[in-house]
Structure 1
């Protein structure tokens, strides 16, 4: 695991409280072509309520049959379906009898109401049992609003969060225009996975296949970033819509889920630095990215010291912010704008949604805020323009779900490099890696022992 970072300001003024922004890039190790991947565990939780009847369930069945063909006999696969109650269609375990698994998938029929909580709970149990807490991926697929069982999004988020604490990453796929994007988004946030949106069966099939490709290419799992707060750091903020939480020692933790081979992601952190009394270089914190190697279940930590240069106040007054960091700040504000616009559409306020999106688009294009024509900033601005047009005249539910998926996709997968042949979900980052300015580079350690991957060269 490799970390590198770029500060908007390297220098802070002497004896003066200040704030700096840090753009962090996290890169997963690549799997060598001659290295056999370890067995994977994939648990599907599928809505089979009455609203799924016909083309929707047929499309999901086709996607799952193709998925079974893609997995190896040594991989664990399980299927839980739910309507008013959960039912284990395929107990999670090795795919030693694919013909029987295919028969059970093909026999699925839709009927009844929607108790999503029962499906999620039963699926998490199956995933944990089969993986023995070695790590698993759960994909929850639903087209409706849960109307039975637990319906509170905060409680369902806690269910997914508890599963993640035991190695199960949860991704949700909202199918059609009738599902509750806020609820499925909360489940995905709790499970450190993605919140996907598919309006039609073909898109749903492509996204299910995409998640399988990510699973099979996974090289690290259960990644978390910890930012300690000590006397040289007064507070930490995580920009945009990336969920984070604070520990009793005041350090901030961001759960990042699993990474596939060579995947890159970016985070933007705001660091509040208290007035420092001595001139020169000072380490204000040490970022710690902890993860598990799925092949050996060994836990590693990649550490990255963050240093600032304390200079006289008149010298600090002449500093200028790095454009890449300011551009990323504008991109993160755009994600918040998408969420706010989605909420406005759900309450029926099209004008507020359009205004929010247009202001974010102008912010991205304003040279005083973004300061650099980054490819991703231009891409995000164009998307905001398209979304604003949709908010004016398109179906409000469709636009709200597209905005939510775009925001969630960027927040979870910013900078992600997709495995070959997988589709891009709206908002999934594809911009260039940070490449200019003075980088802060990190080295991986495992309790003091050298790690296998090697820091990249400067400017790569």
Structure 2
């Protein structure tokens, strides 16, 4: 895997506190065409509560039946369903031992039930994944259309659970169907589990949402990726990870969990470093970045360590520094994500005008900088402006649920900074 670092500015003024932004980019390898990919483990946790009855459940069954056809006989598949309790419909095992037709029959036999004990389904799905997963870890894909109304319902508690299982190489992906699901809970599970959260408003969007996640699973090239930022020298006053990923403090080190990467995928992580005043002119190494990951299919663990160095110069020299445009773009994109969070808070409080002000303000902020950038630097900002304008239009239509869910899904995609979308290669 290729790893690079880039500072927005590498000049800092002598005897003055400063702040710089470090952009870390990880490029996952492409597997050779003749290579046999590692067998994967997928456990689907499907909501079969009463509200899923009819077309939503039938669409899910059709999508899962198609999904099965894309898996390799070596891949492990399991299916858990839940309403007011959870059941294992397909015990997680290699498809070649389960039999594809038997799995399809089990999927076809699912029926709608009662209330929504999402935590029971999720816990059982985690148990199945933990029992059956191979060296490459596992993915739990949870699909729900409703609010959890039985069992554990706290996004904080379940998000923490997802984060703990992600450290054991179990990724959690969530797909929210319709306008009635609990987006805060599903987003917390996906964030903690280092997976995507997807909003599928109707049955036409549900099948592609499931298919895209399976494409990513089958193109997995790296698992258990993490980044450790370690202060050096005179230390750092503060380290802040600006992407919304699970972060832990261990002593003075900051550890960010990135999870899985697809073949050829580029992931970015923006880190804000607050630098104390330094008295000596010249080069100073202020931190060390260590990227730890396991590469598939060989299951070899790698650690790449890179120094972070700045040049301490007189104040008048530092005053003329020009920020790197690539890092600047990523910083602006993360500021736009914060505007979406502020807009969601306002919408939840019934303050539609305030929500729209956050979104249009973000458009103005990005637009002001776009004009000063070269065309190859501005593409991501143009895309984000279009997305913010779309969310602003939804806000103006007065449908809070649609706008909030769209905003959460938009933030999930942008904060994970996946480039490009995964493509599935034939095993």
Q: Which bin holds the TM-score, normalised by the shorter protein?
A: over 0.9
Which of 236, 239, 246 is residue 236 of structure 1 equivalent to? 239
Q: 2: distance between equivalents of 1:402 and 1:314?
A: 46
* Residue-pair matches, total: 420
* Corresponding residue number in structure 2 for 1:428: none
Deviations 1:247-284 (A, max 9, x none): 23121111111001110012221111122232222221
Asked whether the equivalents of residues 191 and 246 of structure 2 are also in contact (C-alpha less than 8 Å), the reply is no
Displacement of 1:33 after TM fit? 0.7
Q: 2: distance between equivalents of 1:386 and 1:407?
A: 13
Q: Does 1:390 align with 2:391?
A: no
| Gap change, CA 1:384 and 1:54, over 3 Å in 2 | same
* Corresponding residue number in structure 2 for 1:54: 54
Q: 1: distance between equivalents of 2:108 and 2:362?
A: 46
* SS of corresponding position for 1:192: coil
* Corresponding residue number in structure 2 for 1:337: 339
Displacement of 1:233 after TM fit? 2.5
Displacement of 1:117 after TM fit? 0.3
Which of 136, 140, 143 is residue 141 of structure 1 equivalent to? 143
Q: Does 1:34 align with 2:34?
A: yes
Displacement of 1:135 after TM fit? 0.3
Deviations 1:385-441 (A, max 9, x none): 1211110114211111001100111101x142113489xxxxxxxxxxxxxxxxxxx
Q: 2: distance between equivalents of 1:209 and 1:407?
A: 20
Asked whether the equivalents of residues 281 and 307 of structure 1 are also in contact (C-alpha less than 8 Å), the reply is yes
Map 1:325-364 onto structure 2 (within 5 A). 325-364=327-366
| Gap change, CA 1:369 and 1:138, over 3 Å in 2 | farther
Q: 1: distance between equivalents of 2:27 and 2:71?
A: 26
Tell me the TM-score normalized by structure 2.
0.94
Map 1:46-445 onto structure 2 (within 5 A). 46-96=46-96, 97-131=99-133, 134-230=136-232, 231-240=234-243, 242-367=244-369, 374-412=378-416, 414-420=417-423
| Gap change, CA 1:262 and 1:368, over 3 Å in 2 | closer
* SS of corresponding position for 2:45: strand
Computed over aligned residues only, the root mean square deviation of the Cα atoms, in angstroms, reads 1.8
| Gap change, CA 1:7 and 1:237, over 3 Å in 2 | same
Q: Which runs of 5+ in 1 are unaligned?
A: 423-460
Q: 2: distance between equivalents of 1:369 and 1:280?
A: 35
* SS of corresponding position for 1:366: helix
Displacement of 1:133 after TM fit? 6.1
- Structure 1 segments, 4+ long, off by >4 Å, are 368-373
Asked whether the equivalents of residues 370 and 382 of structure 2 are also in contact (C-alpha less than 8 Å), the reply is no
| Gap change, CA 1:369 and 1:329, over 3 Å in 2 | farther
| Gap change, CA 1:215 and 1:132, over 3 Å in 2 | closer
Asked whether the equivalents of residues 2 and 302 of structure 1 are also in contact (C-alpha less than 8 Å), the reply is no
* SS of corresponding position for 2:179: coil
Asked whether the equivalents of residues 48 and 111 of structure 1 are also in contact (C-alpha less than 8 Å), the reply is yes
Displacement of 1:4 after TM fit? 1.4
Asked whether the equivalents of residues 363 and 370 of structure 1 are also in contact (C-alpha less than 8 Å), the reply is no
| Gap change, CA 1:421 and 1:32, over 3 Å in 2 | closer
Q: 2: distance between equivalents of 1:136 and 1:324?
A: 34
Deviations 1:327-363 (A, max 9, x none): 2221111111112212322332211110000011100
Q: Which moved more, 1:391-400 or 1:205-214?
A: 391-400
Deviations 1:112-155 (A, max 9, x none): 00000001100000001001564001100000000000011111
Tell me the TM-score normalized by structure 1.
0.88
Asked whether the equivalents of residues 27 and 267 of structure 2 are also in contact (C-alpha less than 8 Å), the reply is yes
